[in-house]
Amino acid sequence: MSALTRITAPDGVAPAAQYSHVVLGTGRFVAVSGQIALDEDGTLVGEGDPAAQARQVFENLRRCLAAAGAGFDDVIKLTYFVTDTAHLPAIREARAAHIPDDRLPASSAVQVAALVRPEFLLEIEAFAVIGA
């Protein structure tokens, strides 16, 4: 695992409540493509249910990170793509099951008109840094 530094309030920037403004570290960079709420058989989990979809997406992220030898402790950035910002509390709840408040990555949330299929409510991509 790499040594990561999280900066929640750089000089002159308002403190972050649900993310770190800056995360830095040394090591190998891992990029995980945006994950959607499909189970291992390619079946949608949680149609119309942002909480169920968020839980499945974080499970998919966990599996993808593990395939690269990483875990959520190594994540430096999450990007949330949501069809409705009202889904963000469900995402934060699912994230809290995997990432403690003192290890929050940098984050961005983007509301989009649609994802690849209309039944998907959210998509999340991750960037991590692991030991060299």
Tell me the average pLDDT across 38-64.
98
Position 58 scores a pLDDT of 98
Tell me the whole-structure pTM to 2 decimals: 0.93
Residue 79 has pLDDT above 80, yes or no: yes
Helix orientation angle between 50-67 and 88-96, rounded to the nearest 10 degrees: 40
Tell me the average pLDDT across 77-105.
97
Cα dihedral 59/84/107/79 (nearest 10): 60
Distance CA 48, CA 109 (A): 20
With b meaning 16 or more CB within 10 Å and e meaning fewer, what string describes 63-92? ebbeeeebebbbbbbbbbbbbeeebbebbe
